[in-house]
Structure 1
Amino acid sequence: MTRIIESLSQIGTQYDALFCDLWGCLHNGKRPYQAAVAALQDYRRGGGRVVLMTNAPRPNQYVIAQLDRMGVPRDAWDMVISSGDAAQDAMFEGAVGRKVWHIGTEKDDGFFNDIPAEWADAPAVVRVSLEEAEGIVCTGPFDEVNEAPEDYRARLMLARQRGLKMLCANPDVVVDMGETRIYCAGALAEFYEDLGGVSFYFGKPHPPIYERARRLLSLTDSSRVLAIGDGINTDIRGAQQEGIDALFVTGGLAAAAFGDDVENPDPELLREWLAHHQQQPQYAIGRLR
């Protein structure tokens, strides 16, 4: 049975580290949630470590720069691990070839241009047209505000016919940027699979991003880790698959399902919704605080 809590402080001392999602938990894509910031600062003052774990398709330094611009203080976290970090490793390993068609925006150029030191001597990965490509790297739609997966049907059908595999650098399907819901790379990767194509994923809920976090923190005991997130099929499913306790933030992507008070989810609506999604996080909270 999922326990609804009022604040992170009620359970924080049970855990040595947090794997905390960003969009919908710490910020809304435009500004931070101050109560969430304060909760993480308080947790760290008590000796806990905070990993901001995001499905952003960019290397972590770009995520950190975005947090700085938003005004998220650095004393609210210890490290940032992105889907982009894990997916970059796979790309430079050659998971989808060395000539790739990139679906995404200019803000994701760092995924290709900022080469980690350990891959400095690897063969180059070059962005080319769909017709020349050996594989696909998807960091999101070309126009994330106005486009939907269906807009890519013809091009992805061609890619499938050519047997191209897609590396998905962000398994999120949608996120909310302020009041606007936008599609992410995960929506395109799932659509490609629906068309018969093959997609590889590297962020939540898939193992590589968790393996990276445990390695960087030198963690050996997942029972002392708490995952926090608003994505039932990414944050919560990933935590459960990894044997990690989870705190579901109901006031994020699925807020409308739990009643009119975003801070206080209706217990019966929450129970029914979680049963429908076949997930049972240990805890739930309206907003991280």
Structure 2
Amino acid sequence: MTRLIQSLAEISSTYEALFCDLWGCLHNGRAPFPAAVAALQAFRKKGGKVVLMTNAPRPNERVVAQLDRMGVPRDAWDFVVSSGDAAQYALFTGAVGQKIWHLGPEKDDSFFTSHPEGLADPVEITRVPLDEAEGIVCTGPFDEMNEVPEDYRARFLYAKTKGLPMLCTNPDHVVDLGETRIYCAGALAALYEEMGGEALYFGKPHPPIYDLARRRLAALGHEIPDSAILAVGDGIFTDIKGGIGEGIDTLFITGGLAADQFGDDPEAPDAAMLDAWLDGKQLSPTYAISKLR
């Protein structure tokens, strides 16, 4: 049974590290949530480590730059690991070939222009048109504000016929940018798989991003057991499923992507509705809270 709590402070003494999602938990794509920032700052002041774990398809330094622009203070977190970081290791070791069709907006070009930390002898990658490609890297739609996955059906049929593998840099299906819901790379990859194509995933809920977070904690001298790590997020099939799969406790943010499922007041989720919804998903977070605070 999932325990509904009112603040992170109720349970924080049990944990030494947080694997905390960004979009929907710490910010809405435009501005940080002050209560969430304060909760993370308080956790760190007591000696806890905060790993910001995001399915953003960009390397962590680009995520950090975005957080700085939004005004998220540096004392709210220790380091960032992104789906882009984990997927870069696969790309530059040749997981989907060397001639790549990039499906995604120009803002994700940094995925190709920087190399993962610690990787020796990276494979040389060339971006080419679809008809010349050996593989696909999907970071999202070309026009994320206006396009939907179905817009790519014809191109995916061609790619599937050629047997092109797709590296999906962001397993999320949707995020809310302010009040606007937009599609992510995960929704495109799901359609490609539905059509018979092959997709490879490296962000939540898949193991590579968690392995990367543990390695970086260890490199900083923090050997933290899984029993002392809490995964925080609003994505039931990414943040929560991933945490459960890794054997770590989870805190589900009900006021994020699924806020309309738990009653009329996003600040006070209905416990019975929450339990019924979770039963339908066949997932049971350790805890749930309306907003990170």
Match of 1:165 in 2: 165
Change (3 A) 1:262 1:117: closer
The percentage of aligned residue pairs carrying the same residue is: 66
Name the amino acid aligned to 2:138.
C
Q: Offset at 1:124?
A: 1.1
Deviation of the 1:117 alpha carbon: 5.0
Distance of aligned partners of 1:198 and 1:78 in 2 relative to their CA distance in 1, 3 Å threshold: same
| Aligned-CA RMSD value | 0.9
| Shift in CA distance, 241/110, structure 1 to aligned 2, threshold 3 Å | same
Query: C-alpha separation between the residues in 2 aligned to 1:116 and 1:21?
Result: 21
* Matches of 1:137 and 1:120, distance apart in 2: 21
Output the CA distance in 2 between the equivalents of 1:54 and 1:128. 28
Is 1:58 the equivalent of 2:58? yes
Aligned partners of 2:180 and 2:165: how far apart in 1? 30
Q: Match for residue 7 of structure 1? A: 7
How much does 1:120 deviate?
6.1
Return the alpha-carbon distance in structure 2 between the equivalents of residues 64 and 32 of structure 1.
13
Residue 232 (structure 2) pairs with residue 232 (structure 1): no
Which of 259, 276, 280 lines up with 2:280 in the alignment?
A: 276
Q: Distance in 2 between matches of 1:268 and 1:117?
A: 46
Equivalent residue letter for 1:189: A
* Structure 1 length-normalised TM: 0.99
Q: How does 1:41-80 map to 2 (within 5 A)?
A: 41-80=41-80
Corresponding position of 2:250? 246
Aligned amino acid, residue 250 of structure 1: T
- SS of 1:118's partner is coil
1:215 deviates by 1.0
> 2: distance between equivalents of 1:114 and 1:123?
12
Amino acid at match of 2:263: G
Residues 1:93 and 2:93 aligned together: yes
- Deviation of the 1:123 alpha carbon: 2.9
CA distance in 2 between partners of 1:262 and 1:82 (Å): 28
Give structure 2 stretches of 5+ with no counterpart: none
Distance 1:16-1:220 versus aligned 2 partners, 3 A rule: closer
The residue type equivalent to 1:2 in the other structure is T
Which amino acid is the alignment partner of residue 65 of structure 2?
Answer: A
Amino acid at match of 1:149: P
Give the 3-state SS of the residue equivalent to 1:93 in structure 2.
Answer: coil
Q: 1:285 aligns with which of 268, 286, 289?
A: 289
Residue segments in structure 1 that go unaligned for 5+ positions in a row: none
**Counterpart contact for 2:17–2:224, Cα < 8 Å:** no
1:259 aligns with 2:263: yes
Q: For 1:221 and 1:179, how far apart are their aligned partners in 2?
A: 38
Opposite residue 286 of structure 1, the aligned amino acid is S
Q: How many residue pairs align between the two structures?
A: 289
